[in-house]
Amino acid sequence: MTDEKPSRENVQAAAMEELVVEIFDPPMCCSTGLCGPVPDQSLIDMDQLLRDVKMRGVRVERYQMTSNPGVFLKNPEVMRLVREKQLEVLPITLVNGRVMKTGAYPLREELEAELKPGQK
């Protein structure tokens, strides 16, 4: 048995594995909204950001109200926001179950700040 300390990279990787980003999307034509002749640039940016975050080991889940209504209904905070502000509150972004942004997709800098080690 050794008394080796875990490397900084291993500690960071373990912390990243615990992170979960959930996006509660507004109704869209497909799972990412990247369809049609002229996709919305914010959806393109969000898709790339989520791919980058996944590559770092963060679990990412996306839900649409039309195709995943049960997930919306099971989350009391999401349903409270939807009842209060209706569809204008969407998208809703949660990090580890905590609402980090509503009404727009997070910018890369905003999401990165939430994913830094030591954030609650």
CATH number at residue 104: 3.40.30.10
Q: Is 38 within the bounds of a domain?
A: yes
Nearest-5° Cα angle at 47, 116 to 8: 25
Domain extent at residue 66: 18-115
**C-alpha–C-alpha distance, residues 106 and 8, integer Å:** 28
Dihedral of CA atoms 90, 95, 97, 101 in degrees, nearest 10, equals -30
Q: What is the pLDDT of residue 40?
A: 73
pLDDT digits (tens, 9 = 90+) for 20-42: 999 999 886 555 555 655 667 78
Q: Is 11 within the bounds of a domain?
A: no
In the chain, how many domains are there? 1
Q: CB of 22 within 8 A of CB of 93? A: yes
pLDDT digits (tens, 9 = 90+) for 49-64: 999 999 999 999 999 8
Q: What is the pTM of this model?
A: 0.77
Is residue 15 pLDDT above 50, yes or no? Answer: no
Q: Is 7 within the bounds of a domain?
A: no
Q: Is 81 within the bounds of a domain?
A: yes
Q: Is 55 within the bounds of a domain?
A: yes
